[in-house]
């Protein structure tokens, strides 16, 4: 069975997932810990994670490695994995289709796809099945975009929208 790709990501209202320098202060300052934004429920339905080098380098700055699922980092430049992540993280220089075929041969059904450029390339390859996007009530004006160019329209079916007292709005779409 082919591995399917699933996105769970937060953006500014104008569609940025990070400032140009990679910082997330605009998001973290709006993350009310008393609200359940559904990450735990989402990740419980995934069996592996694919992330771009940009996202990997960003999560490496956090004090702890908080992923329990195997992580595949896509990069043409990274060569080594930090010692403490051996056995948890694999680096591969593969295009999206080959990466998903590699995961399928390993028995993975559902991959969490993370990172703006990576999501864009997986969308172009039609390898995303669902998108859950949490929008923060702020305009950044510039930054790292979630979406980019596409070879053709990608029609979506809207599934749910939830609003939170903090002002976050979360919607889920399925690719038609």
Residues that bind ligand NAP (CB under 6 A): 9-10, 17-18, 22, 24, 27, 51-55, 58, 74-78, 95-96, 114-118, 121, 144
Find the shortest distance in angstroms from Cβ 84 to ligand NAP: 20
SS3 percent helix, strand, coil of the chain, rounded to 5, is 20, 30, 45
Please identify, using beta-carbon distances, which residue of 12 and 108 lies nearer to ligand NAP: 12
Residue with smaller CB distance to ligand NAP, 77 or 80: 77
Would you say 141 and 34 are in contact if contact means Cβ atoms under 8 Å apart? no
**Min dist. Cβ of residue 22 to ligand NAP (A):** 3
Closer residue to ligand NAP, CB minimum distance, 21 or 153:
21
Structure-derived torsion over alpha carbons of residues 64, 65, 68, 69, reported in degrees to the nearest 10:
160
Shortest reach from residue 94's CB to ligand NAP, in Å: 7
Nearer Cβ to ligand NAP (79/176): 79
Taken in order 163, 167, 172, 176, is the CA torsion positive or negative?
Answer: positive
Cα separation of 166 and 52, whole Å? 29
């Amino acid at each position: 069975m082919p591995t399917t790709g699933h996105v769970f990501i937060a953006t500014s209202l104008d569609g940025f997932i990070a400032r140009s320098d990679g910082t997330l202060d605009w998001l973290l300052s709006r993350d009310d810990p008393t609200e359940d934004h559904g990450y735990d429920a989402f990740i419980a339905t995934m069996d592996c994670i694919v992330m771009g080098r940009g996202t990997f380098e960003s999560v490496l700055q956090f004090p702890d490695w908080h992923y329990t699922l195997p992580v595949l980092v896509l990069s043409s430049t990274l060569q080594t994995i930090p010692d403490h992540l051996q056995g948890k993280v694999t680096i591969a220089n593969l295009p999206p289709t080959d990466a998903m075929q590699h995961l399928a041969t390993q028995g993975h059904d559902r991959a969490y796809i993370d990172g703006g450029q990576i999501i864009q390339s997986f969308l172009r390859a039609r390898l995303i099945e669902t998108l859950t996007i949490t929008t923060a009530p702020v305009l950044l004006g510039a930054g790292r975009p979630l979406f980019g160019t596409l070879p053709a329209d990608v029609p979506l079916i809207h599934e749910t929208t939830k609003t939170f007292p903090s002002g976050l709005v979360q919607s889920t779409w399925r690719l038609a």
